Amino acid sequence: MRREPIPLPVRDVLVNELPVRTVERIFDDAMSRRAARRRARVRTGVALGLAAAAVLASFVIGREIGRREIAPVVTAHAPLPAVIATGASARRVRFDDGSWLEAAPRSRVEIEEDAAGTRLSLARGGVELEVEPRSARRIVVETALARVIVVGTRFSVVRGHDDVRVTVVHGLVRVQSPWIEDGVAMLSAGEDLVVRRALPEPPPTPTVENTSDREPRPRPERLDVDALFREADDLQRAGRPRDAIAPLERILAARPRSSDAALAAFTLGRLYDDVIGDRELAVRAFERSRSIGLPSGLDVEARARLERLASARSPEDPVAP
């Protein structure tokens, strides 16, 4: 067969046209694919934007939650606010002795300070306090239903619609209310108490709405016990431990079977044991406090002290179980 060379460039003997209809179709396809890709890009952008917004929102929420712990703090030299009203987040206020209180979200706490100490009126919500054990500050939390007196502790008070819950994290608090048995209760670590109003209506007690009075109007016998405990505390802090014995003994004499008497006996025991150094009287006081009935936290401590004191005594004088 005869060979016929192909001219260069080879395209001269090839088809080089493209039907316009095909060109149109491919152009339209390219344009619509481009538009679809743009729409996909927009969708991706929106999705990424939403994801970024979600990340940002969680960051802000996380930071807001984190702020609970580092909420605005009133330091030693700043004046205490008269009212703490919280919104969606909690607020912590630190006292100059290291004690602090934290108002829960949507709470209102009115703070009054005078020579007698600090009085917190919980109008709504809840408050948690940690009081420095060595502090000379006397803190009282008032609600419509109960008054919580700090002995040296960490605890919370939450005011509900028709009740008040007091929870003790560690230490000891005294709760006074006409709505609880004997009018007073001692709470130690891990214990909580719900105070509810019961029918028939008892005599009115000091309420938050009554904050114009600097001091609430407690029943006379409660005031005596409080005053005696306060006097004993003050005398101890003043370096006169022997003088502190008398007010505690008066409580024991006035209400020999009450929880106040148990606490007074326990306090006496610690005074004899730790400060005065009279083991016999310390043993007697601890045994008496246990026989009246101590809250579980204090009872453990009283028992441990009795065992320690017994080990230092003669074998023929055993400690009561």
Partner 1 sequence: MWLRGASAGFELTIGSVSHSGGPVPLRVERMPALGRTLRLIEPDEGERAPDAVLVARATAGDRAALAAIFHRYAAVVFHLTARLLRDRIEAEDVLQETFEIVLDRLGGLRDPSALRPWILQIAVRQARHRFRRRKLLRALGFGRSAREPDAALELCASENASPEQRAELALLDHSLLQLADEDRLAWMLRHVEGLDLEDVAHACSASLATVKRRIQRADSHVRTRVALDGRDHET
User: What's the Cα-to-Cα distance from 204 to each of 134, 160, 207, rounded to whole Å?
Assistant: 34, 18, 8
Q: What whole-number distance in Å separates Cα of residue 105 and Cα of residue 314?
A: 57
| Closer to partner 1 by Cβ: residue 17 or 316 | 17
| Closer to partner 1 by Cβ: residue 23 or 54 | 23
Answer whether 304's CB lies under 8 Å from 286's CB: no
Q: Where are the beta strands (DSSP E) in 67-218?
A: 83-85, 91-94, 100-103, 108-114, 117-130, 139-142, 147-159, 163-176, 184-188, 192-196
Task: Identify the three-state secondary structure at position 97.
Answer: coil
Pairing outcome for strands 91-94 and 139-142 = unpaired
Q: Minimal distance in Å, beta carbon 51 to partner 1?
A: 25
Q: Minimal distance in Å, beta carbon 52 to partner 1?
A: 25
Q: Minimal distance in Å, beta carbon 13 to partner 1?
A: 4
Q: What whole-number distance in Å separates Cα of residue 82 and Cα of residue 170?
A: 27
| Closer to partner 1 by Cβ: residue 24 or 182 | 24
Evaluated on CA atoms 12, 13, 17, 22, the torsion sign reads negative
Q: Minimal distance in Å, beta carbon 38 to partner 1?
A: 10
- What residues pair up with 129 in beta bridges, in sequence order? 101, 155
| Closer to partner 1 by Cβ: residue 4 or 69 | 4
Residues near partner 1 (CB under 8 A) are 1-20, 22-24, 26-27, 29-31, 33-34, 37
Q: Minimal distance in Å, beta carbon 106 to partner 1?
A: 55
| Closer to partner 1 by Cβ: residue 29 or 215 | 29
| Closer to partner 1 by Cβ: residue 11 or 161 | 11
Q: Which residues contact 165 (CB under 8 A, 6 or more apart)?
A: 156, 157, 158, 192, 193, 194, 195
Q: Minimal distance in Å, beta carbon 85 to partner 1?
A: 58
